[in-house]
């Protein structure tokens, strides 16, 4: 195969909601756990460069195995809720493969650390919720041996950290747990001995991390008592007596332990270096600045980063003259109804710091090169933190809207910076942040959509002026054209959610004028003290950070649609954008009816009863004359639009064809359906692993009174697993064959070419590509949608004043099509598919 058929264009995913799940490598790559995968993210390129799929449960701990010379890492260790640890190894081509698997824990692994010991063997420490800490030795023979098993009875260790003792190759392990102590263990003569327990914290210890500085070790520990303690460990020689002479002053108490190794014994002393108080809530993570090469040797800067549930990160360092530890920099989030940070990391050169938050979002700050000591928010990846249920392209194919069980609706669009010609995708708006899990959405025109959640109401949203203006900046289109297309006269500036409400209220130009109060003037009402609108207009020159997404990119809700008796399940809109169809969860025929709504008046037009159980998906034909619905009752129904009469100018639909229990070929729930681009055929896919194309559906021929004979037009395709999503490519493969994408329950996406009318049966289907292990999702594919136009979004159309000849680029773009997929593994993926390679 000359060119790859499927290449990954973008993966939108965020970090799992646990501590210890993000690790920043010395080579610049950020590794983080996202659902059951480990994502490798390049902050310079601003995209996920690889996904490591191997765990079958949520990934809870990720740690690069740092080399002693601070070169880019070749190993990565991850632990998950599947009770396993996986050691990943870099290949010659830079790709990571699963090298060793450590099995032995009986509960989810919650923390892991690893160091290189002699002969390039790797020593791994892991803590799990089975109340044990295990030490593993992984050697080149691709095998892991469990060396030691520490049991803590009914207690849990929240974090572990490994390092080699100064001046020797003896590993020392620090564990922090729910007994408010930090336990130190030393591995000597094949035994793991407890050296000592450090007391002082008054609540669970959440994080521990070692740093080695010139013959001494520093251990930072953080706790739910809002304090950070730094401990110093140094070697004591037998003649260490001069220390007592000149220090008649007050001195910290030292604890001493002895390490016997082979035939010599060494003595080490541990003392408390400092206690750092500055956070106002649980401190979840501490991280030392990585060592740097200076003058041919490694220098460990004394700089400590901490992250807390009070939504702030603090950089601590000793003051120049006195050596007293002080707070150097504090960064954080303001506003939003979110909780704080789970952990923090620092880039290899110390110029960027990263936190991951309670809702999985990554927060990046970069050192400002112009102003000394200033930090500013940076652009970083974002995504849903729970299953993504549905997605849709806008009619022009310029952006994607997705909804998920994390109760948000998110908008992703390609971004092309002025300097580089590279296109990266980013979330630039979060139109809806809800109180119910989102389930479905349908676009009506470019800047309006309807969404349904686990509630009986449908909500209609319209883009505010601030979004349209920012979208114009990003996509390089003119503001005027976009505003005229969305009748801008009465557009609000933005939206905000009232303190106790679920509905986004519009904020108009007049609401933005601050009410200037004189110094001494009293407030007339209590409500005057509290500003109702949290919205501030943005002028985006780069993708917005998380706190702007939470507050300043909401879309106002313009309508609520009442009529369903149970939670919403699916939505569909047609090409002329005048009708929306909706269906809800149902176990009786009366609730399984499809409702039709007019998008001009938002009145309910019609109820279409046919099915007996939940309608799982619907689709209007490309010419908007037919509506197809598939259901959990294993049948499909086809509805035909009647010609408008003077009595009823509104479009009304009547039942045109349907399958019965005996004519239904599918024997399980039909999950998905779609129309061929010419409207002649439609396809259904089901849990029974079958994909079937039905037809012909031409309305113009024959007697309109007699129902047509719609029967399977293809042989039955068995895809080998429950087919949860299906989509016809809007561009024909060749003159007479169609391209379909099928999403499977175990996460793989397959491309099939279907040629109507080929004999013998079974020869009409040919598989022409599928996602490989690293491209596939790890859980069920929920929705597949092709970009409505050929070409890749963000390329070719953003031409600014004569950038070279566009002919060849347009020709090159026309050979590409894009496919977007939403999955239960929390990710939205966009694939580029080369039609020539097919």
CB 449 within 8 A of CB 393: no
Per CATH, which fold does 106-238+253-378 belong to?
Methylamine Dehydrogenase; Chain H (2.130.10)
HSE-CB at 278 with a 13 A cutoff on CA atoms is 25
Phi, psi of 481, deg, nearest 5: -60, -45
Q: What pLDDT score was predicted for residue 552?
A: 86
Peptide bond just before 769 cis, omega within 30 deg: no
- Mean per-residue pLDDT, 448-465: 94
pLDDT band at 759 (very low <50, low <70, confident <90, very high): low
pLDDT band at 736 (very low <50, low <70, confident <90, very high): confident
Q: What pLDDT score was predicted for residue 251?
A: 63
pLDDT in tens, 377-409: 999 999 999 999 999 999 989 999 999 999 999
pLDDT over threshold 50, residue 194: yes
Q: What is the sign, positive or negative, of the torsion defined by CA atoms of 290, 296, 297, 300?
A: negative
**Mean pLDDT for the chain?**
87
pLDDT in tens, 126-136: 999 999 999 99
| Count of H-run helices and E-run strands, the chain | 5, 62
For the entire predicted model, the pTM comes to 0.91
Cα separation, 95 vs 29, whole angstroms: 13
- Residue 282 tokens read as 């649980």
Cα separation, 664 vs 645, whole angstroms: 34
pLDDT in tens, 268-312: 899 999 999 999 999 999 999 998 877 777 788 899 999 999 999
Q: What pLDDT score was predicted for residue 760?
A: 58
- Mean per-residue pLDDT, 222-237: 92
Q: What is the sign, positive or negative, of the torsion defined by CA atoms of 461, 467, 469, 473?
A: negative
CB 343 within 8 A of CB 21: yes
Closest residue by Cα to residue 383 from 833, 788, 823, 77: 823
- Mean per-residue pLDDT, 658-663: 87
Question: Can you give the three-state secondary structure of 68-80, one letter per residue?
Answer: CCCCCCCEEEEEE
Q: What pLDDT score was predicted for residue 3?
A: 54
pLDDT over threshold 70, residue 47: yes
pLDDT over threshold 80, residue 491: yes
Question: Can you give the three-state secondary structure of 18-52, one letter per residue?
Answer: CCCCEEECCCCCEEEEECCEEEEEECCCCEEEEEE
| Choice between 571 and 524, residue whose per-residue pLDDT is larger | 571
Strands 458-462 and 557-561: antiparallel
- Mean per-residue pLDDT, 756-761: 68
- Residue 834 tokens read as 């080369």
pLDDT in tens, 555-604: 999 999 999 999 999 999 998 889 999 999 999 999 999 999 999 999 99
- Mean per-residue pLDDT, 311-340: 86
pLDDT over threshold 50, residue 781: yes
Q: What pLDDT score was predicted for residue 811?
A: 72
Q: Which residues pair with 100 in a beta bridge?
A: 87
Residues of the chain with CATH 2.130.10.10: 106-238+253-378
pLDDT over threshold 90, residue 756: no
Q: Where are the beta strands (DSSP E) in 319-407?
A: 325-332, 341-346, 352-357, 362-367, 375-377, 388-393, 400-404
Long-range pairs for 467-474: beta carbons < 8 A, 24 or more residues apart? 467/429, 467/494, 467/553, 467/555, 469/539, 470/428, 470/538, 470/539, 470/540, 471/399, 471/413, 471/428, 473/539, 473/540, 473/541, 474/413, 474/415, 474/428, 474/540
């Amino acid at each position: 195969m000359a060119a790859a058929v499927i290449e990954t264009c973008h993966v939108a995913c965020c970090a799992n909601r646990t501590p210890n799940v993000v690790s920043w490598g010395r080579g610049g790559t950020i590794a983080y756990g996202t659902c059951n995968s480990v994502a490798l993210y390049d902050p310079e390129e601003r995209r996920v460069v690889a996904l490591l799929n191997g765990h079958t449960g949520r990934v809870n701990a990720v740690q690069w195995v740092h080399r002693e010379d601070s070169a880019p890492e070749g190993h990565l260790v991850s632990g998950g809720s599947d009770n396993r640890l996986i050691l990943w190894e870099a290949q010659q081509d830079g790709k990571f493969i699963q090298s060793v698997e450590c099995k032995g824990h009986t509960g989810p692994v919650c923390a892991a650390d690893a160091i290189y010991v002699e002969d390039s063997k790797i020593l791994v420490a892991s803590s799990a919720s089975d109340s044990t800490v295990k030490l593993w030795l992984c050697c080149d023979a691709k095998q892991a041996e469990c060396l030691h098993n520490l049991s803590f009875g009914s207690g849990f260790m929240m974090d572990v950290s490994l390092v080699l003792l100064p001046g020797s190759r003896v590993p020392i392990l620090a564990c922090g747990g729910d007994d408010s102590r930090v336990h130190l263990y030393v591995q000597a003569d094949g035994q793991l001995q407890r050296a000592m327990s450090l007391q002082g914290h008054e609540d669970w210890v959440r994080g521990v991390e070692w740093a080695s500085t010139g013959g001494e070790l520093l251990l930072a520990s953080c706790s739910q008592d809002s304090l950070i303690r730094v401990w110093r460990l140094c070697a004591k020689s037998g003649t260490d007596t001069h220390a007592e002479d000149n220090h008649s002053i007050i001195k910290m108490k030292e604890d001493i332990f002895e390490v016997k190794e082979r035939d010599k014994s060494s003595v080490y002393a541990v003392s408390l270096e400092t206690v750092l108080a500055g956070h106002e809530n649980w401190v979840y993570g501490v991280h030392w600045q990585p060592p740097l090469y200076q003058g041919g040797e490694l220098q460990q800067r004394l700089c400590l980063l901490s992250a807390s549930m009070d939504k702030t990160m603090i950089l601590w360092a000793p003051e120049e003259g006195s050596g007293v530890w002080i707070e150097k920099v504090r960064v954080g989030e303001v506003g939003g109804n979110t909780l704080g940070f789970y952990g923090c990391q620092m880039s290899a050169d110390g110029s960027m710091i990263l936190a991951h938050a309670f809702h999985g979002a990554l927060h990046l700050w970069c050192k400002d090169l112009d102003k000394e000591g200033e930090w500013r928010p940076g652009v970083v990846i974002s995504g849903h933190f729970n299953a993504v249920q549905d997605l849709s392209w806008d009619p022009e194919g310029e952006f994607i809207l997705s909804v998920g069980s994390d109760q948000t609706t998110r908008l992703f669009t390609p971004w092309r910076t002025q300097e580089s010609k590279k296109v990266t995708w980013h979330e630039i708006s979060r139109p809806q942040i809800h109180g119910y899990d989102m389930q479905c959405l349908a676009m009506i025109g470019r800047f309006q959509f309807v969404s349904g959640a686990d509630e009986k109401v449908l909500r209609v949203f319209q883009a505010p002026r601030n979004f349209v203006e920012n979208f114009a900046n990003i996509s390089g289109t003119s503001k005027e054209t976009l505003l005229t297309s969305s009748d801008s006269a009465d557009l609000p500036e933005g939206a905000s959610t009232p303190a106790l409400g679920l509905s986004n209220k519009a904020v108009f130009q007049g609401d933005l004028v601050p009410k200037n109060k004189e110094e001494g003037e009293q407030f007339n009402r209590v409500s005057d003290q509290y500003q109702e609108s949290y919205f501030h207009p943005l002028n985006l020159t780069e993708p917005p950070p998380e706190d702007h997404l939470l507050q300043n990119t909401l879309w106002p809700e313009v309508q609520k649609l009442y009529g369903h008796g149970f939670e919403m399940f699916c939505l569909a809109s047609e090409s002329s954008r005048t009708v929306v169809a909706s269906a809800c969860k149902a176990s009786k025929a009366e609730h399984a009816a499809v409702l039709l709504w007019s998008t001009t008046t938002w009145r309910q037009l019609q109820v279409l009863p046919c099915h007996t159980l939940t309608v799982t998906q619907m689709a209007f034909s490309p010419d908007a004359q037919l509506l197809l619905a598939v259901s959990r009752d294993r049948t499909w129904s086809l509805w035909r639009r009647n010609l408008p009469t003077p009595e009823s100018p509104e479009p009304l639909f009547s039942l045109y064809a349907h399958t019965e229990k005996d004519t239904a070929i599918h024997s399980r729930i039909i999950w998905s359906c779609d129309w061929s681009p010419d409207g002649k055929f439609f396809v259904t896919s089901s849990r029974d692993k079958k994909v079937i194309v039905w037809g012909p559906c031409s309305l113009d021929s024959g007697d309109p009174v007699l129902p047509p004979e719609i029967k399977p037009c293809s042989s039955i395709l068995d895809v080998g697993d429950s087919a949860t999503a299906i989509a016809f490519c809007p561009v024909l493969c060749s003159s007479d064959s169609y391209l379909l994408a099928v999403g499977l329950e175990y996460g793989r996406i397959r491309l099939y070419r279907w040629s109507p009318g080929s004999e013998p049966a079974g020869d009409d289907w040919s598989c022409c590509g599928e996602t490989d292990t690293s491209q596939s999702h790890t859980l069920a594919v929920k929705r597949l949608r092709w970009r409505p136009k050929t070409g890749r979004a963000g390329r070719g159309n953003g031409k600014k004043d004569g950038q070279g000849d566009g002919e060849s680029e347009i020709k090159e773009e026309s050979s590409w099509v894009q496919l977007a997929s939403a999955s239960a593994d929390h990710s939205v993926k966009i694939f580029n598919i080369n039609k020539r390679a097919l």
